[in-house]
């Protein structure tokens, strides 16, 4: 007789761990299937570790709603679980007078998303906060922060396991089939197993589309395109004279070359985004050459030859080059018609910030409510 579990979650990244913990705490017998031998080895460990305020996303989008809700849930979780973090704030800077109007537009968009605490600063006010800046004005976001993402994932793993959930490492999903009793799954690895899950949550990140296509009986018309966007980051040799994150006014195609800090105060710059065909985390040192001119627009004193390759992260996008940025796609039975199955596609930034709100959203789909806490 085949074993049955209440819920299987595919992927032990930050979103998968948050979802699994939430479901286990709701009383569901929950197992996480992870193809690697450790938690968060891909997208979750290769990001800027920023807690986003929810400023740029389209009003009414899932990204906007879940980022704003998730941000406050995440800060509260960090406090209660002693996860290292800092509400350091961020400055969005206008490096030309023509960009001052854009700051007002950004602030208006943020207000529409429920982010009402942005402060518009003139040049003197911005330099009073960050004297090394060069700018004509700035927006101050006090809700933006940074976090130890690995510490967060360890805390989420601990919560999951304390309520009886488990993670099966080295357990890639080989195949699945939609049956009356649930979704039959077969995993590989040295301890391969077969079981039926009454509920299946696909948090496969970069592999979510491939996983969905492995489910026999799932209508493939509901599998969106998969695009890989690699963001290259470069670290600063030495200390930067900033205590806040510094972002230029966004330009077409992205948020520009911004400065982020880690909890130790080290600075990195990025992302330098390139579209790729397959997963590859190599960082070309030569790609940083174009950074110097961009960074010196807001930090003129950036020393020559001070940037070194740091790391690359890959975003699981469902919109391609030249297309408008797609929203999160949280796809439940009401969308595709398969009982018990929830697919999470295109969970890129602000996925880490929104992780706890995404978990609540999934819990709501399973329990019959639709709004997160």
Q: pLDDT tens digit string along 47-58? A: 999 999 999 999
Do residues 167 and 260 both lie within one domain? no
Q: Among candidates 48, 83, 85, 53, which has minimal Cα distance to 66?
A: 53
Q: How many domains does the chain have?
A: 2
Statement to judge: residues 158 and 212 lie in one domain: yes
Of 371 and 351, the structure prediction assigns the larger pLDDT to 351
Q: How far apart are CA 138 and CA 131, in angstroms?
A: 13
134 and 232, same domain (yes or no): yes
Share of the chain above pLDDT 90, in %: 91
- For helices 351-367 and 14-25, the axis angle rounded to 10 degrees is 30
114 in a domain, yes or no? yes
Average pLDDT over every residue of 14-30: 98
Residues 243 and 306 in one domain: yes
Same domain, 300 and 333: no
**Average model confidence (pLDDT) for the chain?**
95
The residue among 278, 294, 317 that closes a domain is 317
Q: What is the pLDDT of residue 190?
A: 85
Q: Give the dihedral sign, CA 57/58/63/67.
A: positive
Residue 32 pLDDT class (50, 70, 90 cuts): very high
Point out the domain boundary residue: 280, 295, 317: 317
Residues forming beta bridges with residue 147, ordered by sequence position: 85
Q: At what angle do helices 149-162 and 14-25 cross, to 10 degrees?
A: 30
pLDDT at 372 over 80: no
Asked if residue 286 has pLDDT above 70, the reply is yes
Residues 233 and 305 grouped into a single domain = yes
Q: 3-state class of 352 per DSSP?
A: helix
pLDDT score of 75: 98
* 3-class SS string, 310-341: EEEEEEEECCCCCCCCCCCEEECHHHHCCCCE
Nearest in space to 328 (alpha carbons), one of 313, 349, 342: 349
pLDDT above 90: residue 250: no
Which residue is associated with the tokens 């391969």?
192
CA dihedral 18, 20, 21, 24 (to 10 degrees): 160
Give the 3-state secondary structure percentages of the chain, helix then strand then coil, rounded to 5.
Answer: 30, 30, 40
Q: 76 lies in a domain?
A: no
Does the pLDDT value for residue 369 go beyond 90?
A: no
Grouping H, G, I as helix, E, B as strand and the rest as coil, residue 248 is strand
320-327's contacts with Cβ under 8 Å and 24+ in sequence apart are 320/225, 320/227, 320/275, 321/227, 321/275, 326/224, 327/58, 327/61, 327/62, 327/63
Are 157 and 267 in a shared domain? no
d(C-alpha 29, C-alpha 7), whole Å: 6
Within-domain flag for 154: yes
- Asked whether residue 347 is assigned to any structural domain, the reply reads yes
Which tens digit of pLDDT belongs to each residue from 151-185?
999 999 999 999 999 999 999 999 999 999 999 99
Please state the pTM of the whole predicted model: 0.96
Q: pLDDT tier at 2 (50, 70, 90 boundaries)? A: confident
User: Is the model's pLDDT at 245 over the cut of 60?
Assistant: yes
Q: DSSP secondary-structure letter at 243? A: S
Whether 336 has a pLDDT exceeding 50, the answer reads yes
- Both 209 and 231 in one domain: the answer is no
CATH classification of the domain holding 131: 3.30.9.10
How confident is the model at residue 253, as a pLDDT? 60
pLDDT at 303: 96
Q: Is the pLDDT of residue 39 over 90?
A: yes
Note down the domain range covering 350: 4-47+150-224+325-367
Q: Does any domain span residue 155?
A: yes
pLDDT at 361 over 50: yes
Q: Are residues 270 and 196 in the same domain?
A: no
351 or 189: whose pLDDT is higher? 351
The answer as to whether 292 is a domain residue is: yes
**What CATH number has the domain bearing residue 39?**
3.50.50.60
Mean pLDDT within 350-373: 85
Question: Does residue 372 form part of some domain?
Answer: no
**Contact, 341 vs 218, CB < 8 A?**
yes
User: What whole-number percentage of the chain has pLDDT above 70?
Assistant: 97
Q: Transcribe 160-226 into DSSP letters.
A: HHHTT-EEE-S--EEEEEEETTEEEEEE-STT--EEEEEEEEE--GGGHHHHHHTEET--GGG----
Q: What DSSP designation does 96 have? A: S
Residue 254 has pLDDT above 80, yes or no: no
What average pLDDT does the segment 331-350 reach?
97
The greatest distance separating any two alpha carbons of the chain, rounded to the nearest whole angstrom, comes to: 72
pLDDT band at 371 (very low <50, low <70, confident <90, very high): very low
Residues 176 and 158 in one domain: yes
Query: Is residue 27 left, alpha or beta, with left meaning phi > 0 and alpha meaning psi from -120 to 50?
Result: left
132/236 same-domain check: yes
User: pLDDT tens for residues 227-244?
Assistant: 999 999 999 999 999 999
* Domain C-terminal end among 276, 297, 317: 317
pLDDT at 1: 64
User: 254 and 207 share a domain?
Assistant: no
pLDDT on residue 171: 97
* Residue 174 belongs to some domain of the structure: yes
- Is 79 in a helix, a strand, or coil? helix
């Amino acid at each position: 007789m085949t074993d049955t579990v209440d819920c299987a979650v595919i992927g032990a990244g930050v979103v998968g761990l948050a979802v699994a913990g939430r479901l286990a705490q709701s009383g569901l017998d929950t197992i996480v299937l992870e193809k690697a031998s450790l938690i968060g080895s891909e997208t979750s460990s290769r990001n800027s570790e920023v807690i986003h305020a929810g400023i740029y996303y389209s009003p009414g989008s899932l990204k906007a709603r879940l980022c704003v809700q998730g941000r406050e849930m995440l800060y509260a979780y960090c406090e209660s679980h002693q996860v290292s973090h800092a509400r350091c704030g961020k400055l969005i800077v206008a490096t030309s007078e023509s960009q001052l109007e854009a700051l007002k537009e950004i602030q208006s968009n943020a207000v529409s998303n429920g982010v009402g605490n942005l402060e518009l600063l003139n040049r003197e006010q911005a330099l009073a906060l960050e004297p090394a800046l060069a700018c004509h004005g700035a927006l101050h976001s006090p809700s933006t922060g940074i976090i130890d993402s690995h510490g967060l994932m360890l805390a989420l793993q601990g919560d999951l396991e304390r309520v009886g959930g488990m993670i099966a490492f080295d357990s890639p999903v080989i195949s699945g089939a939609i049956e009356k009793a649930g979704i039959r799954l077969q995993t590989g690895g040295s301890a391969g197993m077969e079981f039926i899950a009454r509920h299946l949550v696909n948090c496969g990140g970069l592999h979510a589309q491939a996983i969905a296509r492995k489910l026999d009986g799932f209508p493939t018309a509901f599998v969106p395109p998969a695009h890989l966007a690699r963001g290259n980051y470069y670290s600063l040799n030495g200390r930067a004279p900033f205590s806040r994150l510094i972002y230029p006014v966004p330009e077409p195609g992205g948020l520009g070359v911004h400065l982020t800090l880690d909890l130790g105060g080290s600075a990195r710059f990025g992302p330098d985004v390139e579209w790729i065909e397959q997963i590859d985390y190599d960082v070309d040192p030569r790609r940083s050459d174009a950074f110097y001119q961009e960074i010196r627009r807001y930090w003129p004193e950036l020393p020559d030859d001070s940037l070194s390759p740091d790391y690359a992260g890959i975003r699981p996008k469902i919109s391609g080059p030249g297309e408008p940025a797609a929203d999160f796609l949280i796809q439940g039975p009401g969308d595709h018609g398969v009982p018990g199955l929830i697919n999470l596609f295109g969970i890129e930034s602000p996925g880490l910030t929104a992780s706890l709100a995404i978990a609540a959203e999934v819990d709501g789909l399973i329990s019959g409510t639709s709004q997160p806490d």
